[in-house]
Amino acid sequence: MSLESLQNAIRDAAASRAPLRLRGGGSKDFYGNEARGTVLDTRAYAGIVSYEPTELVVTARCGTRLSELESVLEREGQCLPFEPPHFGAEATLGGCVAAGLSGPRRASAGAVRDFVLGTKIVDGRGRVMSFGGQVMKNVAGYDIARMLAGTLGTLALIAEVSPKVLPRPADELSLKLEMPLERALETMNRWAGRPLPITASAWHDGELAVRLSGSEVALRSAREAIGGTALDAPEAQAYWRAIREHTHPFFAGSEPLWRIAVPSAAGRLRVEGKTLIEWGGGLRWLRSAAGAGAVREVARELEGHATLFRAADKSAGAFMPLPAQLARLHRELKDVFDPAGILNPGRMYREL
Amino acid sequence: MGEVLSGSRQREVAGALRAFLPARAVLYEEEDTRPYECDGLTAYRRLPMVVALPETEEQVRRVLQTCAAMGVPVVPRGAGTGLSGGALPSGDGILLSMAKFMRILRVDPLARVAVVQPGVRNAAISEAAAPYGLYYAPDPSSQIACTIGGNVAENSGGVHCLKYGLTVHNVLRLRGFTMAGEPVELGAEAPDAPGYDLLALAIGSEGMLILVTEVTVKLLPQPQFAKVVMASFDDVETAGRAVADVIAAGIIPAGLEMMDRAATHAVEQFVGAGYDLEAAAILLCESDGTPQEVEDEIRRIREVLQRAGASRMSESRSEAERLRFWSGRKAAFPAVGRISPDYYCMDGTIPRKRLGEVLNFIGQMETKYRLRCPNVFHAGDGNLHPLILFDANRPDELHRAEQFAAEVLEKCIEVGGTITGEHGVGIEKINQMCVQFRPEELELFLAVKRAFDPAGLLNPGKAVPTLARCAEYGRMRVQRGKLPHPELPRF
């Protein structure tokens, strides 16, 4: 598949004002609001364009499977530092960046957007443009490349991305500790304020798990500081994979799943339901049948926001509504990138 | 325009601001406005029509509303240490100094955030966080003077950003106003704020999208211990390869800097950092962490550098010595300022593997333009700071320095890099933007600007050139042999 064919599809759709649904492997079809329009499948626009491990950057086309990209990096002892969830074997790099979802390493390493160095896009007029580049530091022009992470394909088709990559940790060790919720929140925040190599944390049902990454000597001293019981390596890997991919039993069943982001030191969520906490307290997964208004109010009180992540009924909107001034800026930007309003309309907000 | 018109216009604008600002916060006499005529890029100077020094968010809002209503351009300014002319005033506009916004509003040691006003100095944040064992990571060399507001505008880096990131990685939330005076909050203390990542868009936008009045930054735990290895090399290309070897070994040092001989000589006279003056280039490579971790990593770094051909190596034996090694690097710009009446600092970033080629090119340019050019280099990030030495009092030297710089920047683009890694485009590199970006990309930047500021009043004329300007510069990128916008006049 050529870039021209993607451009042509978008140009034609713009001319006839026919909505397009940009789609990679479809692993994140559930995410956001209902997608509508003719599917523009990006999977055939795939492949790694360039990769030089010592430059700490890889450039790949949007249809490249995430699993393929990760195994190429792994062969060179490197990784995508934000540890993205796949949510399915078909997950693509383009979908990963468009969704902007990061995994367990988010609190220590950063989010998808923190690692986007550059991108080549096709905008809503079918124009190909490049922003950012393949170098670590670049402040020429506005940071469009980073901003596009998490836009759910509503501004442009992300045709090619250059994420920064990092060496895989030399060693990892996961520990489990019994701990009630409030104490776990405080403990995770206290640990994060000390120079400990914590790269993942999860609390559920009275049990706190933390992962340490680094050199053997670093892990040894951190283990003494933290205590708890060590998991053996395969068990630890399986555990973090289950948290990342939502195959942990907490995520099973059909009760609505909320993704609530709050300042890490915020207290417990004052709402009925079961919780699984990640990112040192910053991410609270909630299974609850409570109404969307109530859940969002609880998140707002904690200066956070609540996303209806998986649910049969998303009529309340997947994402928290924006304040009026921000909503206006969003509409203006949508108009800049996609004046015909054909790219994934409504996927993020109804008016975008 | 300007001179004739400005007399009555100046009185009119100053009068409108005086309606809600105290007399001392509105400057228009030349002796008062002169200090604001330039920032760190002193080759460009322009007197602002009026300088406003608001103290409260409400005053800022009213300044913006007043200027928006009167069609007066507004140029924001922090400490004025910027190196690309981002705070160069408009002759028919307001210079909006944020110098009075210097309060640290909150340091939360448990949540590890600080909420500060934009006029707070970069180093002051780390000083306020130090009692809790925390610090603010980005450390531009000017950190004792530069403000967080300016850092946000330029997306500043520093010598430790290879491991700890740039401003964009360490700022969680911005509060401020659009040019129309509408309040906005971008980002949040909670991760992944809903909607588009306008925080990422605003950081590094050179004060052109919003006027920032409050910044929430992330604080990190201070590393327990740090150590620097100083390694000498007989030629710069070997030093460049050694940098790649360190990365290839899976090591991300806390800092990885290179200086060539011309730079170490300038610095040594100035601060006596203890650099090896025989070496063609030196590398400074820092490791931080627990003492055992650092010893372990330093051992690995030394092995890699040894194999890569280091001719000499020494390591800091105390915290004082470590700081002394860095003091030389951080003092490189002022040190060069002592050996030359003027210097022109460049900021291109390149793929590290092209370092040898680019340094050779710079050497050729020294001959071509008959000007010297010491090099300091954030080697880990590929961010070059060649410093072209000249004397503005000698006929033609500034012009030669600018042409020298333009050629080097275009070389950076040619090898797959960028014209600016951390200093910003400002007014200085605006012509090279025409080379780095295609017309449709520049048009998109201009459209993004209009989305935030339809009348184009907030820091106008910076960072993004108009297509007409590119046509004038004569270096517009041409695709498939066709000039875009054939209707534009060419010169």
Tens digit of each residue's pLDDT (9 = 90 or more) over B273-314: 999 999 999 999 999 998 989 999 999 999 999 999 999 999
A143 touches chain B (CB under 8 A): yes
* pLDDT value of position B491: 39
Beta carbons of A261 and B464 less than 8 Å apart: no
Does the CB of A140 have a partner CB in chain B at under 8 Å? yes
- pLDDT-based confidence at residue B488 (cuts at 50, 70, 90): very low
CB pair distance less than 8 Å for B423 and A215: no
For range B149-163, the mean pLDDT: 94
- Is 60 exceeded by the pLDDT of residue A260? yes
pLDDT digits (tens, 9 = 90+) for A185-215: 999 999 999 999 999 999 999 999 999 999 9
pLDDT number for residue B32: 97
Q: Give the residue carrying structure tokens 């910027």.
A: B82
pLDDT single digits (tens) B14-30: 999 999 999 999 999 99
**Whole-number pLDDT of residue B476:** 53
Per-residue model confidence (pLDDT) at position B478: 46
- Partners of residue B97 on adjacent β-strands: B77
Tokens read off for A290: 């409570």
A293 Cβ contact list (under 8 Å, min separation 6): A316
Positive or negative torsion for Cα A246, A250, A252, A257? negative
- At residue B6 the predicted structure's pLDDT band, cuts being 50, 70 and 90, is low
Does the pLDDT at position B90 exceed 60? yes
Read off the pLDDT of residues A216-227 as tens digits, 9 standing for 90 and up.
999 999 999 999
- Position B60 pLDDT exceeds 80: yes
Q: For residues A240-253, give the mean pLDDT.
A: 98
CA distance A317 to chain B (A): 12
B chain contacts of residue A303, beta-carbon cutoff 8 Å: 188-190
Q: Cα distance from A168 to chain B (closest Cα, Å)? A: 8
User: Which of A34, A22, A113 has its CA nearest to residue A314?
Assistant: A34
**Quick check: B218 and B224 in contact, CB under 8 A?**
no
Q: How many CB atoms lie within 10 A of CB B9?
A: 17
pLDDT of residue A61: 98
pLDDT band for position B475 (cuts 50, 70, 90):
low
Percentage of chain B with pLDDT > 70? 95
Question: Which residues from B are below 8 Å from A349, CB to CB?
Answer: 195
Asked if B448's CB is within 8 angstroms of A142's CB, the reply is: yes
Q: Which of B154, B290, B430, B432 to mutate to test the interface with A (most CBs of A within 10 A)?
A: B290
d(CA B378, CA B8): 49
B440 neighbors A328 (Cβ within 8 angstroms): no
Angle (nearest 5°) at CA B168 between A78 and A169: 20
**Token duo for residue B49:** 């029509």
On the question of pLDDT at B4 being above 80, the answer is: no
Rounded to whole angstroms, the Cα distance separating B357 from A185 reads: 52
Give the number of beta-carbon pairs within 8 Å between A and B: 254
- Those residues whose C-beta lies under 8 Å from the C-beta of residue A240, and which sit 6 or more positions away, are A104, A174, A200, A202, A211
**What's the confidence (pLDDT) of residue B222?**
96
For residue B489, the model assigns a pLDDT of 44
Shortest distance between the Cα of B153 and any Cα of chain A, in A, equals 10
Nearest to A280 by CA among A213, A199, A195: A199
Of A82, A122, A130, A139, which to mutate for an interface test with B (greatest number of B Cβ within 10 Å)? A139
Query: Residue A141 is nearest to which of B132, B382, B445, comparing CB atoms?
Result: B445
Per-residue confidence band for B490, with pLDDT thresholds at 50, 70 and 90: very low
Angle at B344 between CA B341 and CA B348, to 5 degrees: 160
Cα B223 vs. chain centroid, distance in angstroms? 25
Please state the φ and ψ torsions of residue B107, each to the nearest 5 degrees. -120, 120
Mean pLDDT of chain B: 93
Per-residue pLDDT tens for B171-219? 999 999 999 999 999 999 999 999 999 999 999 999 999 999 999 999 9
User: In this predicted model, which residue has the larger pLDDT, A221 or B475?
Assistant: A221
For B214-266, the pLDDT digits (tens) are: 999 999 999 999 999 999 999 999 999 999 999 999 999 999 999 999 999 99
Q: Does A150 touch chain B (CB under 8 A)?
A: yes
Average pLDDT over residues B463-489: 66
Of A290, A259, A81, A347, the C-alpha closest to B191 is A259
How far apart, in whole angstroms, are the C-alpha atoms of residue A278 and residue A281? 6
pLDDT, tens digit, 9 for 90 and up, residues A149-163: 999 999 999 999 999
CB A301: neighbour CB atoms within 10 A? 13
pLDDT at A292 over 60: yes
Centre a 10 Å sphere on the Cβ of residue A245 and count the other Cβ atoms it contains: 15
Nearest CA of chain B to the CA of A167: how many Å? 5
Interface of A with B in 25-84 (CB under 8 A): 52-56, 77
Indicate whether B337 pLDDT > 90.
no
The tokens describing B232, both together, are: 């000498």
Q: Provide the pLDDT for residue B7.
A: 83
ipTM of the complex: 0.98
Q: Does the reported pTM lie above 0.80?
A: yes
